[in-house]
Amino acid sequence: MLRVILIDDEALARQGLRELLADAGGVEVVGEAASVKSASALIASLNPNALFLDIMMPGKDGFSLLEDMEKCPPVVFVTAHAEHAVKAFEFEAVDYLLKPVRPERLAEAVRRLRAASGETEEEPAYTQGDRICLRTPERTIIASFSDVLSLEAEGDFTRVSVTGQAPLLICRALGQFEETLPAPPFQRLDRSLIVNLDRIHALEISPTRGTRVFLHESKTALQIGRAALRRLREAMPSLGDHT
């Protein structure tokens, strides 16, 4: 059972979230707070497993609460402001929900909280309509899955190609991405490559150049071997035997 605290200055917002969490099951709302000041005392006394935290509140905002805490439980931000997503994930947020909260997105956030709180050893899977946070030492990108073109292994790192962005080198193994990315549309073709099948627009098979995969809005073609080509054709029968 996840023990959570709801922190939002709007009583109706807390009520709606509490009702949605009741439907999700396995979650107990042990406390509610309408300000950062009252939330700090509540967290210290109740020691919850997780926080559902609004950002814009009178006085101090939700980020201030986290900055003032030496050790913070896993956090799901619940806000009407999409522009704070990057900063939220810099605080290692488990999820970022936009108001009005959809039940399916809340259920996904609860699954992620269970993993973050140690209730399961499996990392919760993403869904196709979700977004992903990609962090490098220099920047953080919040991307929808439809904008992720491909992921290529580089040792213990993964190079992620995203529409409109320079490739991102992420300190995360390709296998970890494979465990959480929605399949379809993401397909692992070989030990070092995952592609977004929805973004493939051409396939070239040449006796001299081998097989190349072309993705929408990508300037660089992906070179693949015979085994990868076989997996690609299995995943996309419409490709047939075109060369």
Give the domain 2-116 fold: Rossmann fold (3.40.50)
Q: Name the β-bridge partners of 79.
A: 98
How far is Cα 45 from Cα 121, in angstroms, rounded to an integer?
28
| Per-residue tens of pLDDT for the chain, all 243 residues | 899 999 999 999 999 999 999 887 789 999 999 999 999 999 999 999 999 999 999 889 999 999 988 888 999 999 998 888 888 888 889 999 999 998 888 988 898 888 877 665 444 556 555 778 887 767 778 888 889 999 999 888 999 999 988 889 988 888 888 887 888 889 999 989 999 999 998 888 888 778 888 898 887 888 988 888 888 888 887 765 544
Name the CA radius of gyration of the chain, rounded: 21
Domain extents in the chain: 2-116, 131-239
pTM of structure: 0.54
- Domain spanning 131-239, CATH architecture: Beta Barrel (2.40)
* Cross-sheet strand order for the sheet of 95-98: 27-33, 2-7, 50-53, 75-79, 95-98
User: Amino acid identity of 47?
Assistant: N
Helix (H, G, I), strand (E, B) or coil at 28: strand
How far is Cα 211 from Cα 158, in angstroms, rounded to an integer?
22
Q: Name the β-bridge partners of 205.
A: 211
